[in-house]
Amino acid sequence: MKSAFHHGLVLGLVGFACAASALLAQDDDEGLPLPSWSEEDLRAMREQPQAAPLLNNLLWPENVEFLAETEPASADTPDARQPAADLSRFLPPHLIASPGAGRSLPSAFIPTSAASLRDVSAAFLADAAGWPPERHLIDPNGELSETMEGDFARFLEFHARDARVRLHVLLLGRDERLPGAASPVMVAQGSLQHGNACLAVVPRGEPWRLRLFLSRHVHETAPPAELAEMLEDCVRDAMLATDEDEQIHRLLVRLSIRLFWLERLLTKPAAVKEAIVRNPEPLSEVTVLPDPVPIIETRMTVPLAAGLAALLGLIFWRWRRYKLRHYVWTLPEREVAPRLGGAHCGGGTWIDYR
């Protein structure tokens, strides 16, 4: 009895829902206006019937002559359901333009020669040093347009909000480089000395000259191979783009992802990190990068080790030769009872070598 009541209730609800949806659909049909076609539209459709919006042949104006021409013989074939259309109307113009008509692509990958590279000016360094710490995109030269700078700045702020390793980006000109004496620690009013931070020095248009600086804690915790792979991955991804702004964009996105991956390798838990932030350690123990080491140097470890081993081998070899030439060995005298009647020698051994 009780189940019959439930069945009846369910059926009633379903019926009410169907009736309500039918009424709403009818209201929608009545509310939507039919498309109207002007003479120009009809002329354009006649000239380029393949480029006209089809929408399953339901929105054609009446009495169109070319309808029969475009309609395939068998409407059930896949070609009929997905007719060829001119996609040029749905793509940005610069993507379908001829390669020679747009910007010059090859210049994006022509590296500046080493002789042409110049150190950034003292004013640049002073601007970078006095840059506000909360602005993670450091662009003293004004390399970026206002729109791109805003986009990148928002992206870096978003990264800093969730990441344990903050990301600061120092933009250089195409032919600029950091002088050897410049200390990345002083960038952004020394804010990189506190907490875990990463400074990416990005020459505009030349992502292969990317330099990364990490806080000492991060640098010592993460495996060198992982850091080298991170650097290579960022450069590789940036090189996929030819546009300079797009290169920076791809580089930042990839670097942000890799820094999030890097967090998993950091052994220090978040609670400990917060405690350190609230109670700063003494100056000598603060996890800063007083002597930042570019990650690129980790790739030189194997050649350096091999060179050191070769040097040690050479020193040992020279020392051995020197010792063999300038040293003498004195053997201890031991008494041996004479035998076989010999006063000085008591026999020997022999072999046949045939």
Partner 1 sequence: MLICPRCRSPLRLGGACCDRCGCHLGRLQQMLGDQQVKVERLIDHARCLALKDFQRLEHCLDEFERRFPQIHAIVFLGGLLSGVSAAEAGFWLLNQGVCTRPSGTMPNRWGLAVIIDPVERRAGLAMGYALEACLPAGFGSEMLQRAAVHLAHDEHVRAVDALLACLDRKLRSQGSARRRTVPPGTQRTDPHLGLEVLPEAAPVPAQSPQHR
Positions that interact with partner 1 (CB under 8 A): 323-324, 326-354
User: Which amino acid is present at 344?
Assistant: H
CB of residue 172 to partner 1, shortest distance in Å: 59
**Separation in Å, CA 178 to CA 128, 197, 300, 322:** 11, 19, 20, 46
CB of 292 to partner 1, least distance (A): 48
Comparing CB distances to partner 1, the nearer of 278 and 325 is: 325
Q: Of 235, 138, 250, which Cα lies nearest the Cα of 192?
A: 138
Q: Which helix (H) or strand (E) holds 277?
A: helix 270-278
Shortest separation between residue 323's beta carbon and partner 1, angstroms = 7
The upper half-sphere exposure of residue 218, i.e. CA atoms within 13 Å in the direction of its Cβ, equals 32
Q: How far is the CB of 319 from partner 1 (least distance, A)?
A: 12
Q: Which is nearer to partner 1, 113 or 349 (CB)?
A: 349
b or e along 291-320 (b: 16 or more beta carbons within 10 Å of the residue's beta carbon)?
ebebbeebeeeeeeeeeeeeeeeeeeeeee
Complex with partner 1: residue 55 or 343, whichever CB lies closer: 343
Distance CA 346, CA 339 (A): 5
Among residues 66, 62, 71, 73, which one has the least CA distance to residue 45?
A: 66
CB of 320 to partner 1, least distance (A): 11
From the CB of residue 182, how many other CB atoms can be counted at a distance below 10 Å?
A: 18
- In the complex with partner 1, which residue's Cβ is closer, 82 or 330? 330
The answer to whether the CB of 250 falls within 8 A of the CB of 324 is no
Nearest distance, CB of residue 314 and partner 1, angstroms: 21
Closest approach, Cβ 331 to partner 1, in A, equals 4
106 vs 348 by CB, closer to partner 1: 348
Nearer to partner 1, 2 or 334 (CB): 334
Write down the least CB distance from residue 317 to partner 1, Å.
Answer: 16
Task: Identify the helix (H) or strand (E) that includes residue 21.
Answer: helix 2-31
Smaller CB separation from partner 1, 89 or 354: 354
DSSP 118-165: EEPPHHHHHHHHTS-TT--EE-TT--S-HHHHHHHHHHHHHHHHH-SS
Output the smallest distance, CB 338 to partner 1, in A. 7
For residue 102, give every residue at least 6 positions away whose Cβ sits within 8 Å of its Cβ, in sequence order, or none: 94
User: Chain centroid to CA 33: how far?
Assistant: 49
Quick one: DSSP state of residue 85? -
Q: Which is nearer to partner 1, 264 or 354 (CB)?
A: 354
Closest CB to partner 1 among residues 109, 322? 322
Q: Please tell me what DSSP assigns to residue 97.
A: S
The answer to whether 74 and 82 are in contact (CB under 8 A) is no
Q: Is the four-CA dihedral 27, 29, 32, 38 of positive or negative sign?
A: negative
